[in-house]
């Protein structure tokens, strides 16, 4: 069965700090990997996705993620966070099945 | 295009009562998914419709939960009778294809509180 592990429950950063959120997955086959974000009071939105090709994926709002197959990882990064990045971030994986999510990481960006 | 709409946004009911949640997918999306997030836990898959048929209902917790999608348009998720552990946020998503790599569009969720 597929599973997703997000290492950080709550991350607090100052504006302009760099961000890296960890995500590891468990699945034996070909995977599709996703990061979703939920801003306060809003619905889940797709930040970026990987399903083939360049393992470094660029998404919206300056986010990127790197798929490292040997480590079963798909960490999310952003060089410089803004206050508006305060949200909850979910890593998800899919083989040919519905999405399986991690527990989420809450990011708080302070001035 | 209009997004995925869920109703109600919040519901507070007493243990033992019945609640029905509704999801209107994006028009033309044959695939509709229900997920649930219990506080502090991951977002867990409940079931998947393709048009009006249940493709995968392996995530439904027990027979107190009944999902329908008559006519292949909107879907309802009924909890009867509700228990305290049913509290959480219920998300609906839709997609054009069943393959997740094309992405799902999520609704804003229904926050259900059972007291």
Q: How many other C-beta atoms lie within 10 A of the C-beta of residue B10?
A: 10
Residue B78 pairs with which residues in a beta bridge? B20, B66
Q: Which residue in A has a C-alpha nearest to residue B39's C-alpha?
A: A103
Who contacts A15 (Cβ-Cβ below 8 Å, separation ≥6)?
A81, A82, A83, A109, A110, A111
Residue B11 pairs with which residues in a beta bridge? B112
Can you tell me the distance from the alpha carbon of A110 to that of B15, in angstroms, rounded to the nearest whole number?
Answer: 40
Taking contacts as CB-CB distances below 8 angstroms, the residues of chain B near A1 are none
Mean of all residue pLDDT scores within chain B:
92
* Least Cα separation, residue B35 to chain A (angstroms): 10
Question: What pLDDT is attached to residue B101?
Answer: 61
As a whole number, mean pLDDT of residues A74-86 equals 97
pLDDT single digits (tens) B3-50? 999 999 999 999 999 999 999 999 989 999 999 999 878 899 999 999
Contact B108 A101 (CB under 8 A): no
Q: Is the pLDDT of residue B99 over 70?
A: no
Confidence band of A94 (pLDDT split at 50, 70, 90)? confident
Q: Which residue in A has a C-alpha nearest to residue B43's C-alpha?
A: A101
Determine the residue among A31, A44, A57, A91 to mutate to test chain B binding: the one whose Cβ has the most chain B Cβ atoms within 10 Å: A44
Can you tell me the distance from the alpha carbon of A40 to that of A38, in angstroms, rounded to the nearest whole number?
Answer: 6
Confidence band of B102 (pLDDT split at 50, 70, 90)? low
Name the helix (H) or strand (E) containing B46. strand B43-50
Check residue A2 and give left, alpha or beta (phi > 0: left; psi -120 to 50: alpha). beta
Question: What pLDDT is attached to residue B1?
Answer: 59
Contact B106 A94 (CB under 8 A): no
Question: What pLDDT is attached to residue B2?
Answer: 73
């Amino acid at each position: 069965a597929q599973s997703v592990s997000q290492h950080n429950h709550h991350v607090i950063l100052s504006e302009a700090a760099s961000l890296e959120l960890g995500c590891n997955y468990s699945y034996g086959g070909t995977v599709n990997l996703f990061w979703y974000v939920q801003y306060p009071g809003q619905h889940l939105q797709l930040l970026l996705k990987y399903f083939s090709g360049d393992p470094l994926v660029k998404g919206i709002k300056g986010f990127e993620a790197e798929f490292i197959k040997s480590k079963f990882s798909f960490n999310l990064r952003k060089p410089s966070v803004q206050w508006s990045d305060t949200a909850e971030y979910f890593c998800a994986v899919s083989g040919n099945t519905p999405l399986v999510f991690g527990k989420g990481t809450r990011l708080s960006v302070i001035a | 295009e209009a997004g995925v709409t869920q109703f109600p946004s919040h519901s507070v009911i007493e243990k033992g009562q019945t609640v029905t949640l509704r999801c209107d997918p994006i028009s033309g999306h044959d695939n509709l998914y229900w997920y649930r997030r219990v506080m502090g836990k991951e977002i867990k898959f409940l079931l998947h419709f393709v048009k009006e048929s249940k493709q995968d209902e392996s995530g439904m917790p027990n027979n107190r939960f009944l999902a329908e999608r008559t006519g292949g348009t909107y879907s309802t998720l009924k909890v009867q009778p509700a228990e305290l552990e049913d509290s959480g946020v219920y998300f609906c998503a839709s997609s054009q294809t069943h393959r997740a790599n094309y992405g799902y569009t999520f609704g804003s969720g229904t926050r259900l509180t059972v007291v």
